[in-house]
Amino acid sequence: MQPHLHPAPETPLVSIIVPVYNLETCVSSCLDSLLAQTWLPLEIILVNDGSTDGTARILNAYAERHPGIRVITQANAGVDAARYAGMDAATGEYVMFVDGDDAIFPDSVEAMVQMAVRERADIVIGDYVRHLDRFGLFRRKDGHIPHSRVVKREEFLSSYYSGFFGMDRHGLFYTYGKMCIKLYRREFLLDNRPAPSGLRYAEDQLFNLQVFPAAERIAVLAREVYIYKFGGVTGNLSLSLFDDMLLLHSTKLTMTDREDWKKSELGAFLNNVRSFLATLAVSGELTARSMPEALEKLNGSAIWRQALEVHPSLNDPFFSAMRRNDAAAAYGELSRHTILKKTAYRLRRAILKLVR
């Protein structure tokens, strides 16, 4: 069934950029959600980042059937490079990013572009829901956008921007940290985008951290536009990404001169250390045998020593063990607090094998 279109009197072209790597089992649902949009015209740019499974065949088949779809193929260089390749190829007045294992609601582009045009916004931020594999949608727990409004540059820098450094008075860190769930004016984006970071973890957070301060008007849309499906890098963390996490927070410290923001960021870093390692322990990527490697990475980083100095009162059993370089005790504390999550994780994996 063809979507019912509601174009504005002037219908700007919107370019949707989709980085894809080895997503043969789920990319079709993403593309179907894009093709079901109530807004036209659309330019859909699929960047095949060196996939080694059947992804290329699926992307090319969609492009053959739908003239508005283009496929760019490149050697595997990571999601950051794939998004930049898409930006370089885009021709729309507005640009939107959608990960190849996620989806958007049918009226998402329409709602965002109409607000962008009406409010003369450089960026529109929408809301999102999480999707747990085949078990349906559920709302996230990390805040939401309570009402639509426009945030001008001065207010954003004085009130919202500190959220990037852990001082999130609006509860929107996870919302405005992502490159997805946003519509960017392309000319603004190309004029202000930073060089590719090369990070494989939270690269979109670092991107927006540098782009947002240049925006004159940011429209915040109290509407769910994005369906985030747990997976990708975030859902498949590994100890090899720990270095990227350290680099992310170290880089963020160089981007502000405010001591209160730096202190807050160091606290956020310590929280991330715990949650990152706990997630690895739950999935089995971190074991008692590999815990010393994680501790060695931390001890080799300046930000770890700085964070412990700035937050000396952080002496719960986990951090106490980490401070005295007792990897076995630190892992024991992680395991003690994640045993139920480990059980749920393994049960969930078993159920998924049965339903797939």
- Give tens-digit pLDDT for 260-287: 999 999 999 999 999 899 889 888 889 9
Return d(Cα 36, Cα 126) in angstroms, integer: 18
Contacts of 323 (CB under 8 A, 6+ apart): 308, 315
Kindly tell me the burial class for residue 96, based on how many C-beta atoms sit within 10 Å of its own C-beta (0-12, 13-18, 19 or more).
buried
Q: pLDDT by residue (tens digit) across 178-222?
A: 999 999 999 999 999 999 998 989 999 999 999 999 999 999 999
Position 313 scores a pLDDT of 82
Q: Are 46 and 90 in contact (CB under 8 A)?
A: no
Specify the higher pLDDT residue, 344 or 185.
Answer: 185
Instruction: Give 4's pLDDT tier (boundaries 50, 70, 90).
Output: very low
Return d(Cα 312, Cα 301) in angstroms, integer: 17
Q: Is the peptide bond before 41 cis (omega within 30 degrees of 0)?
A: yes
The secondary element (H helix, E strand) that includes residue 138 is: strand 137-138
Q: Which two tokens stand for residue 129?
A: 């829901």
Contacts of 316 (CB under 8 A, 6+ apart): none
Contacts of 256 (CB under 8 A, 6+ apart): 165, 262, 265
Q: Where are the domains of the chain?
A: 14-234, 237-355
- 3-class state of residue 219 by DSSP: strand
Q: pLDDT by residue (tens digit) across 282-297?
A: 888 899 999 999 999 9
Q: Are 265 and 252 in contact (CB under 8 A)?
A: yes
Please, what is the average pLDDT of the chain? 89
pTM for this predicted structure:
0.88
Q: pLDDT by residue (tens digit) across 159-173?
A: 999 999 999 888 887
Instruction: Give 231's pLDDT tier (boundaries 50, 70, 90).
Output: low
Which neighbouring-strand residues pair with 185?
Answer: 94
Distances (CA, A) of 82 to 32, 60, 93, 257, 335: 21, 17, 20, 32, 37
Nearest to 235 by CA among 280, 204, 170: 280
Angle between helix axes 203-211 and 242-253 (nearest 10 degrees) is 20
CATH class of the structural domain 14-234: alpha beta
HEC secondary structure over 77-129 = CCHHHHHHHHHHHCCCCEEEECCCCCEECCCHHHHHHHHHHHHCCCEEEEEEE
Position 162 scores a pLDDT of 94
Which neighbouring-strand residues pair with 44?
Answer: 16, 69
